[in-house]
Amino acid sequence: MPKIKDIPKIDRPREKFLQKGADALSKSDLLAILLGSGIKGKNVRQLSENIIKKFGKNFLNITVDDLLEISGIGQAKALQIASAISLVKRFYADEKSNEIIIKNSQDVLSLTYDLRDKKKEHLVCLYLNARNSLLKKEIISVGLLDKALLHPREIFYPATELNAASVILIHNHPSGDSSPSEKDNQIVEKIVQAGEIMGIPVIDFIIVSENNHYSFYEKLKKQKEGFDYILDGIQGTLFAMFEAEKPAYEITAEKIQENYFYIPQVKENHIQLHNRRYIGNKHKLLEWIFSIINKECSGDSFADIFAGTGVVYKLLVNQKNYFNHDSI
């Protein structure tokens, strides 16, 4: 069985495509380029010819399972073909259909322009599929927003019914100021976290007023108005942006000051501690404990009535210049 390298270069699918263009190639040649290599006993050109003949006009409807029935076609090659077909069909559908694709905040505003003139506050949700195509536009609530009253299920239950891939929320401010209030910030955080848990991310939360708007997505991205939601094939979400905005946690510690505690001397060589607030294990407090002993106590005996693991005792034993080992 001749190998593809045995065919003259001018007749090989890739070289022919580069020199003459796609129109000069047959369907099987185009499929051969997609497959890249053949299988044992068949070069890539012969393999592609067999596939084209087997499915004929039904080629655009073949599935991965259909392809796996062909001898020599494994899962990897089957996925290559099925994915390429789906990609072409997706672009064709986008071009020919009347779908509403939401690319950025301007697309959202054009769909919700009527909210600018509303005298009451509204919360509207746009439900989108994986291609950011609008599945449904729904009013979630009318009246003042309250995070205690607005439950995430009101937003995400319809999303599960629609098999939505993501949502965008729009809220109006009749006051004319589109800046988010503290209550808006709390609501956004609550809904964004719920969406992350549900697996239905919130792409944006937009506040509109009569003459302006505020997009959390654009603000967090620090991008200009109308910036597209999808960047490099990865859909940004508010949850990811909120997480990126959080400062790194730092652990700081301060040395405990002696004068933080009130330590009255009720009688000689006795100390009464009124402040019993837990401030850490005794190993961390050794420096403070010894500073109090040296300052407030005299004599050669010491009783640690809360000895625990004996960490204080062990250190006292080693302090022979201050304490008598036998009396401890």
**DSSP state at residue 33:** H
For residue range 220-248, what is the model confidence (pLDDT) as tens digits? 877 665 567 865 456 677 877 777 666 65
From 96, 123, 142, give the residue that closes a domain: 96
- What's the mean pLDDT when you consider all of the chain? 77
pLDDT, one tens digit per residue, over 143-188 is 876 655 678 899 999 999 999 999 999 999 999 899 998 888 988 9
Among 77, 96, 115, identify where a domain stops: 96
Q: How does residue 320 score in pLDDT terms, banded at 50, 70 and 90?
A: very low
Co-location of 212 and 281 in the same domain: no
Instruction: Give pLDDT, residue 5.
Output: 57
Q: Are residues 112 and 218 in the same domain?
A: yes
161 occurs within a structural domain: yes
Share of the chain above pLDDT 70, in %: 68
End-to-end CA distance of the chain: 95
Q: 28-37, 91-100, 112-121: which has the highest mean pLDDT? A: 112-121
Most confidently predicted of 205-209, 293-297, 309-313 = 205-209
My answer on whether 149 and 56 are in the same domain is: no
Q: Beta strand 166-172 with 234-235: parallel, antiparallel or unpaired?
A: unpaired
Q: For residues 63 and 157, state if they share a domain.
A: no
Question: 7-12: which pairs have CB atoms within 8 A and are 24 or more residues apart?
Answer: 7/45
Compute the distance between CA of residue 124 and CA of residue 138 in angstroms, rounded to an integer.
6
**Enclosing domain of residue 211:** 105-245
The number of residues making up the chain comes to: 328
